[in-house]
Amino acid sequence: MNQVYVPPRPWLASYGATIPQELPELRYSSLPDLVHKSSVANDKRKAFTCVVPNGMNGTLTYAEIGEMSDAFAAFLHHDCGLRPGDRVAVQLPNCLAYPVVAFGVFKAGCVLVNTNPLYTPSEMIHQFNDAGAKALVLIDMFADKLAEVVPKTGIQSVILAGIPEFFPRIPEVIVRGVQKVWSKTLPPVPKLDVATLRLKQALAMGRAHHANVAAMWENVGPDDLALLQYTGGTTGVAKGAMLTHGNILSNLEQVKAVSSGMMAKNDQVLTALPLYHIFSFTANLITFFELGARNILIPSPRPVQNLQRAIENYPITWITGVNTLFNGLMNEEWFAAYPPKQLRAAIAGGTALHEAVATRWRVMTGTQIAEGYGLTETSPLVSFNPLDDRAKPGSIGMPVPGCDVLLVDEDSKPVATGEPGELIVRGVQVMKGYWQRPEETAAAIQNDWFYTGDIAVMDEEGFLRIVDRKKDMVLVSGFNVYPNEVEAVLSKMDAVLEAAVVAVPDAKTGEAVRAYVVKNPDYEGELTKEDVFKHCRQYLSDYKVPKSVVFRDVLPKSPIGKILRKDLKAEIRSEFAL
């Protein structure tokens, strides 16, 4: 397939009059350009409100976000010595500090490395070293990890922020008091050999320079790197997807094009999905900030009751989430009795939306859930299911403007309409490649087409349906778990001879991790399931730890000795009558 190949585009006829067939020119030269212009245009409007479970909250306006992100950019440039292209790891949940820091990183011309706050020290060390991060912004609840992590990385500056950062004084003191005394979630900060300070100190230092921040990003353009967003890609090995300013800005335009004008400046979006996840990053942080709307930030959506005060106290018009979040909300008595009155629609992504959940949501709230499909490597949106009578239940919809998709066989030849094939994508939102991995980039992107590893079918109107995953990734509540990583951890156990990890259905998380384990015959002690769980918790975030363990005498293998996960999957299909 050569570069100039233009595939059939049956979806264009399905766009109708509401969706443009071509994307407009980018309205911003870069993400800091967008942040600056939106901050000025919407200066007095409320941009972000963070709500903790008891209802206490803090709010920042667009003008405050603009000024604070300027100050943080000046701090990174003058006090940390960072220059355009340097990487900054940000390990924060949804809180007011996140947009200040992320936008400040962009304004300094630096590259944002989004990092899950729940990562273990070994996961942090791997990602920070792979990215070459020079500075780290960390939520203070996990400061106890620093002593192990920082000496083993190139981190030169550590900035700590809290959940109630920028709250009014009294709520801030109360929340911090609860964290220290009641929940005991604020560990002491260890002494480090690198500069360590609080975010408010960093902002004060940045302000003192009276810097011309705009000059720091005036040469940043659409082709420059904005994000290193870590993913397993198509091979299951964690790597950084290189997303440019143009990738994110283009996907912003694609999101707005398919929203058919339903998103507006007066919207208030409930942001329960973490902003460090690419779905929430583009759909919530970037899109709604550009609109001049308001993000209602939830630091932790678990248990789902944590959302109650935010939903009751604010006129929520949009909710983004995954299948399990929508299902969980509908199982709450308070939500079922009083669903949000101002809700216009919800957006589902990250994992498959179950048709039964979408139907129940429509009956309970009187609104639709728009399902889309995307990947980290595509910034993320690739396709969408319209919020009108064109929508097809069970479908991931049709490709967004500015994006081509094609379904191909094993030889990269197009398959017939209605036949399954690997979904490949070409468009303005597709990443530059994988960070410092040219061979894996070449395998994933061929002749400008990104190979997703997902198997889909397309109907005559251009609507897509995912039928299987080519890769072995396990999707736990929308988060990627890569079997190779879990198997590598299991192999560290002296008591384990070999192991295989696969997905099993789970009512709460969509999928869960199951480990098949063969005991080492030379190990004299006992090996229990709890031993496996305890070992994995030392090295893996909770969502990656196997939920079930099955002991076997042998594992199925190919003639060359490769463990056959597909045989284990066949057993699971039989076990769960799939």
Q: Specify if 510 maps to a domain.
A: yes
Please check whether residues 428 and 442 belong to one and the same domain: yes
Please check whether residues 517 and 481 belong to one and the same domain: yes
Last residue of some domain: 436, 453, 469? 469
Mean pLDDT in residue range 216-241? 86
How far apart are alpha carbons 195 and 95 in whole angstroms? 23
Mean pLDDT in residue range 336-362? 88
Backbone angles phi, psi at 225, to 5 degrees: -70, 130
Spatial CA neighbour of 58 closest among 103, 99, 91: 99
Amino acid identity, residue 120? Answer: T
Residue 497's domain is classified under what CATH number? Answer: 3.30.300.30
Q: Specify if 342 maps to a domain.
A: no
State the Rg of the chain over Cα: 23
Q: Specify if 47 maps to a domain.
A: no
> What pLDDT score does 374 carry?
94
Please check whether residues 480 and 457 belong to one and the same domain: no
Please check whether residues 428 and 545 belong to one and the same domain: no
What percentage of the chain reaches a pLDDT higher than 90? 79
| Measured distance between the N- and C-terminal CA atoms of the chain, rounded to whole angstroms | 36
Residue 431's domain is classified under what CATH number? Answer: 2.30.38.10
Please, what is the average pLDDT of the chain?
93
pTM of the model: 0.87
Q: Specify if 123 maps to a domain.
A: yes
> What pLDDT score does 457 carry?
93
How far apart are alpha carbons 145 and 158 in whole angstroms? 12
Q: Could you tell me the pLDDT band of residue 488, with boundaries at 50, 70 and 90?
A: confident
> What are the residues facing 240 on neighbouring strands?
230
Last residue of some domain: 448, 469, 490? 469
Q: Specify if 552 maps to a domain.
A: yes
Tokens of 240: 């950084």
> What pLDDT score does 387 carry?
85
Please state the separation of Cα 281 from the chain's center in Å.
7
Structural domain for 422, as ranges: 403-469
Q: Could you tell me the pLDDT band of residue 238, with boundaries at 50, 70 and 90?
A: confident
**Residue 292 vs residue 387, higher pLDDT:** 292
What percentage of the chain reaches a pLDDT higher than 70? 97
Please check whether residues 497 and 463 belong to one and the same domain: no
How far apart are alpha carbons 92 and 140 in whole angstroms? 9
Mean pLDDT in residue range 244-255? 97
Mean pLDDT in residue range 175-187? 88
> What pLDDT score does 485 carry?
84
Please check whether residues 480 and 465 belong to one and the same domain: no
> What pLDDT score does 6 carry?
80
Last residue of some domain: 172, 198, 220? 220
Q: Specify if 98 maps to a domain.
A: yes
> What pLDDT score does 1 carry?
55
DSSP 157-191: EEEEE-TTTT--HHHHHHHHHIIIIIS---PPPPP
> What pLDDT score does 141 carry?
96
Q: Specify if 313 maps to a domain.
A: no
Inform me whether the pLDDT recorded for 3 exceeds 70. no
Q: Specify if 172 maps to a domain.
A: yes
Q: Could you tell me the pLDDT band of residue 50, with boundaries at 50, 70 and 90?
A: very high
Which residues are within 8 A (CB) of 231 and not within 5 positions of it... i.e. 6 or more apart?
Answer: 238, 239, 240, 241, 375, 376, 377, 480
Out of 228-232, 420-424, 499-503, pick the least confident: 228-232
> What pLDDT score does 558 carry?
63
> What are the residues facing 319 on neighbouring strands?
270, 346
DSSP 20-52: -SSPPPPS-SSHHHHHHHHHHHTTTSEEEEEE-
Please check whether residues 448 and 538 belong to one and the same domain: no
> What pLDDT score does 2 carry?
53
How far apart are alpha carbons 311 and 148 in whole angstroms? 39
Please check whether residues 465 and 480 belong to one and the same domain: no
Please check whether residues 68 and 190 belong to one and the same domain: yes
Sign of torsion, CA 90 380 421 467?
positive
Q: Could you tell me the pLDDT band of residue 183, with boundaries at 50, 70 and 90?
A: confident
Inform me whether the pLDDT recorded for 468 exceeds 80. no
Mean pLDDT in residue range 34-54? 98
Number of domains making up the chain:
3
Mean pLDDT in residue range 88-111? 98
Spatial CA neighbour of 105 closest among 121, 92, 88, 119: 88
> What pLDDT score does 4 carry?
60
pLDDT tens track for 16-33: 988 999 999 999 999 999
Out of 147-151, 237-241, 376-380, pick the least confident: 237-241
How far apart are alpha carbons 401 and 284 in whole angstroms? 20
Please check whether residues 519 and 410 belong to one and the same domain: no
Inform me whether the pLDDT recorded for 395 exceeds 70. yes
> What pLDDT score does 237 carry?
59
Tokens of 396: 């991931």
Please check whether residues 74 and 199 belong to one and the same domain: yes
Please check whether residues 199 and 165 belong to one and the same domain: yes
Residue 160's domain is classified under what CATH number? Answer: 3.40.50.12780
Helices 199-207 and 97-107: angle between axes, nearest 10 degrees: 40
Mean pLDDT in residue range 98-121? 96
